[in-house]
Amino acid sequence: MAILHIQRKKKDEGSVEKKKTSMPVKVRSKASPVDVSRIEQMPVLKSPRITEKVSQLMELNVYTFNVFSSATKNEVKRAVFARYNVMPVHVNMAKVVSKRRFTRGKIGRTARGKKAFVYLKKGDKIEIM
């Protein structure tokens, strides 16, 4: 059995070398600049989230948006820049958990989703209302 294993190693080494020489080397190019028209078409931001707690955060340059559950922080950052022409400093995401509600004798559930907290620089503002 050991003899077969040694022979197999020799064959594998030869095949690996052939693969290395035959494959061309790819060089990645740098990312292209942000295409604003394409980002506006992507569904990322649903609506601004306006509550009493969020209105207090707006004074601290933190704005909150309802976003689609598949959205990422970078997509939200680009979408805010495309829509409001303001570049966020950073973005935090939080899940909105579904809750059980009892209405008119029936048990139901509230909608679940995702919200994004967008932090802006001190002088920047977003006109929501």
Does the pTM surpass 0.75? The reply is no
Give the separation between CA 61 and CA 97, rounded to whole angstroms: 25
* Residue-wise pLDDT tens digits, 2-59: 666 666 655 555 555 554 455 455 544 444 455 555 555 568 999 999 999 999 999 9
Half-sphere exposure of 91 (CA within 13 A, CB side): 23
Band (pLDDT 50/70/90 cuts) for residue 127 is confident
* Positive or negative torsion for Cα 53, 56, 60, 66: positive
Percentage of the chain modeled with pLDDT above 70: 67
Two tokens at 127? 């006109």
Those residues whose C-beta lies under 8 Å from the C-beta of residue 76, and which sit 6 or more positions away, are 44, 45, 65, 67, 88, 91, 93, 116, 118
Q: Where are the domains of the chain?
A: 35-101+108-122
Strands 62-67 and 90-96: unpaired
Q: Give 35-101+108-122's CATH code, choosing from 3.40.50.300, 3.30.70.330, 3.90.1520.10, 3.30.390.30.
A: 3.30.70.330
Two tokens at 50? 């306006």
